[in-house]
């Protein structure tokens, strides 16, 4: 079977299962299937809820559309200054990511691939369904605001500050170079992901900030009761694992940046 077909089929299935797993970890006495799929019904039956979902999806659609025309933005920068800004980031970080990757081994590669490809984007729907279940509408609105603000903050960098992924830059004739860890598993994984992430839009990236938003909004509820329920615990620990640099795509500073800005 074509590897691309396998990845395109398995990725959404693993994504849904991972959201259900995160819900199960957060709401131990609730039915995770009911909690996960309840918002889908509410989006159909409640106009205001559908609007909330459409706003979130529109940000993703704009991100994909900008990625499709990203080369034009990069050419404009190269024409004006002769090079992009990757070397500037490398002068600050050096080959730190490559050094960190020396400690990787196959089981960790699989784990971080799951964290990077699946868990990070799953944090948004996970937070939405958990807050919906416990009636925390205000937190869901805060989550949407953080999501939009994160995108507005990184949008100028998309257009005027191109930085190549560290595995592309550091592999250019360097002794200690960063590799794309996802390719260690299979190149088809990155082939499927590439339309949603340009090769030179990674500092700061929308994706590293986007995964931090749900955790920042959820943090005040960690280890305490939500909506008066003793069985509700939000444990966003998986997001603390920095899979972005380990995957060889993002620079370490980008991963650290998500702890500094709203939504990150």
Residue pLDDT, tens place only, 32-42: 999 999 888 88
- Please state, in angstroms and rounded to a whole number, the distance separating the CA atoms of residues 245 and 253: 9
**Per-residue model confidence (pLDDT) at position 234:** 44
Among candidate residues 60, 248, 73, 95, the one with its CA nearest the CA of residue 161: 73
* Contact status, residue 33 vs residue 217, Cβ threshold 8 Å: no
**Per-residue model confidence (pLDDT) at position 31:** 92
* Contact status, residue 200 vs residue 73, Cβ threshold 8 Å: no
Residues whose CB is less than 8 angstroms from the CB of residue 206 and which lie 6 or more positions away in sequence, other chains included: 63, 150, 151, 154, 158
* Contact status, residue 105 vs residue 185, Cβ threshold 8 Å: no
Residues whose CB is less than 8 angstroms from the CB of residue 147 and which lie 6 or more positions away in sequence, other chains included: 56, 59, 124, 210, 213, 263
Residues whose CB is less than 8 angstroms from the CB of residue 207 and which lie 6 or more positions away in sequence, other chains included: 120, 121, 197, 244
Which helix (H) or strand (E) segment is 104 a member of? none
**Per-residue model confidence (pLDDT) at position 170:** 60
* Phi/psi of residue 262, nearest 5 degrees: -60, 135
Owner of token pair 């990069």: 74
**Per-residue model confidence (pLDDT) at position 264:** 42
Joined together, the tokens standing for residue 73 give 């933005």
pLDDT band at 213 (very low <50, low <70, confident <90, very high): low
Residue pLDDT, tens place only, 102-116: 777 788 888 888 887
**pLDDT score of 241 more than 50:** no
pLDDT band at 56 (very low <50, low <70, confident <90, very high): confident
Entry pTM: 0.78
Neighbours of 227 (CB within 10 A): 11
SS3 call for 224 = coil
């Amino acid at each position: 079977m074509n590897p691309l077909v396998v990845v395109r089929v398995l990725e959404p299935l693993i994504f849904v299962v991972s959201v259900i797993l995160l819900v199960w970890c957060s709401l131990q006495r609730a039915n995770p299937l009911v909690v996960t799929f309840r918002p889908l019904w509410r989006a159909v039956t409640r106009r205001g809820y559908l609007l909330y979902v459409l706003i979130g999806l529109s940000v993703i659609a704009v991100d994909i559309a900008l990625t499709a025309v990203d080369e034009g933005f990069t050419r404009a920068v190269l024409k004006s200054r002769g090079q992009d800004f990757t070397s500037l980031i490398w002068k600050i970080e050096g080959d730190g990511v490559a050094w960190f990757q020396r400690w990787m081994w196959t089981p960790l590669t699989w784990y971080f691939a799951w964290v990077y490809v699946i868990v990070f984007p799953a944090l948004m729907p996970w937070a939405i369904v958990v807050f919906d279940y416990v009636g925390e509408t205000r937190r869901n609105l805060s989550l949407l605001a953080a999501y939009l603000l994160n995108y507005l903050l990184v949008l100028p960098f998309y257009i005027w500050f191109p930085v190549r992924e560290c595995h592309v830059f550091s592999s250019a004739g360097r002794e200690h170079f960063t590799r794309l860890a996802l390719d260690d598993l299979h190149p088809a994984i990155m082939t499927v992901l590439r339309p949603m992430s340009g090769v030179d839009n990674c500092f700061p990236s929308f994706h590293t900030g986007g995964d931090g938003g749900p955790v920042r909004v959820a943090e005040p509820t960690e280890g305490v009761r939500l909506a008066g329920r003793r069985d509700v615990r939000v444990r966003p620990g998986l997001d603390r694992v920095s899979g972005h640099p380990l995957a060889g795509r993002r620079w370490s500073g980008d991963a650290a940046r998500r702890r500094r800005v709203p939504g990150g």
